[in-house]
Structure 1
Amino acid sequence: LALGAGKAAGATVTLVPEEFPPGPIRLGDVVRILEGSIVKRLSAG
């Protein structure tokens, strides 16, 4: 559902809450995922 909503909205990155362990989601975890996504996109051109 989250991926479909992200795709429909034209989002470049969609974070799916179910992919995180139970409990609070730390900002550092989100930042790490976003950094990896940026590096991957830059390396792909």
Structure 2
Amino acid sequence: MRDFTWHVFTQTGDIEAYLLYKEMHNLGAPELGANAGAEDDEGNVADEE
């Protein structure tokens, strides 16, 4: 998620995206790789059943 907010900031210059990036950094949010996303969520649902 941090990567996404950084990307939004670099593409748009939106200060709120930067502030969100910094807040997530301070909270210790992990950076997700390119393979993270909806596919991972679907796998978790299947595991619960």
Task: Provide the TM-score with structure 1 as the length reference.
Answer: 0.38
Considering fraction of residues, name the structure with more helix: 2
Point out the structure with max Rg over C-alpha: 2
